[in-house]
Amino acid sequence: MIRTGMYSCDNRLQEIYAFNLSYLLLIQDLIQQDPCTAGFYSGLDQDLLVLLKNLPLPELLRLASVDRVICQFRIESEAVLNGLTKCSRLEALQSVHAGIILSTGLLCDLVKEDSLPESMSKAVSQEPADTNVC
């Protein structure tokens, strides 16, 4: 057992396992309730959502036991982090603002993959050049 600081390597692996398992169970629960919402909240595409929904418990436990965190941190820049954590005069709009910021990345990914319906793709591509969304 390797000790680093206050935690041993075994403790960290157990914490990663618990985190991964909690995440997978949450995603499966969200998928059961509403697959579209699950995709929006998680940032996962429909194909992966179907695979996770149908993943049997032994495979789910095996996936949770990898030695890395399996979910992806979706905040990719300091500006986005600051925008999400900054105090707002309109606290009621904070969650809406967070949803817009986090879903913008999903929209950009769909445009890049050409997975959007043609009408939406045209609307996104006609945005003013200085908005720098993607």
Q: For 10-60, what is each residue's pLDDT tens digit?
A: 899 999 999 999 999 999 999 999 999 999 888 899 999 999 999 999 999
Domains in the chain: how many in total? Answer: 2
Q: Does residue 80 have a pLDDT over 60?
A: yes
Same structural domain, 55 and 83:
no
Print the domain residue range for 35. Answer: 1-72
Domain end, chosen from 72, 93, 115, is at 72
The domain that holds 20 is classified in CATH as: 1.10.4000.10
Please name every residue paired with 3 in a beta bridge, in sequence order, or none if there are none.
8
Half-sphere exposure of 64 (CA within 13 A, CB side): 22
Same structural domain, 58 and 118:
no
CA distance 95 to 103: 12
Domain end, chosen from 72, 96, 115, is at 72
Same structural domain, 56 and 85:
no
Contact (Cβ atoms closer than 8 angstroms) between residue 98 and residue 84: yes
Same structural domain, 113 and 102:
yes
Same structural domain, 82 and 65:
no
Same structural domain, 61 and 123:
no
**The two three-digit tokens of residue 93, written as one number:** 């709009």
pLDDT band at 64 (very low <50, low <70, confident <90, very high): very high
CA distance 33 to 98: 22
| Mean pLDDT calculated for residue range 93-102 | 67
Same structural domain, 88 and 52:
no
Same structural domain, 90 and 37:
no
Return the pLDDT at 57.
Answer: 94
Same structural domain, 85 and 133:
yes
Looking at per-residue pLDDT, the higher value among 44 and 123 belongs to 44
Domain end, chosen from 42, 72, 102, is at 72
Q: Is the pTM of this model over 0.75?
A: no
Same structural domain, 104 and 67:
no
Residues in the chain: 134
| Mean pLDDT calculated for residue range 79-97 | 70
Return the pLDDT at 8.
Answer: 79
Same structural domain, 68 and 80:
no
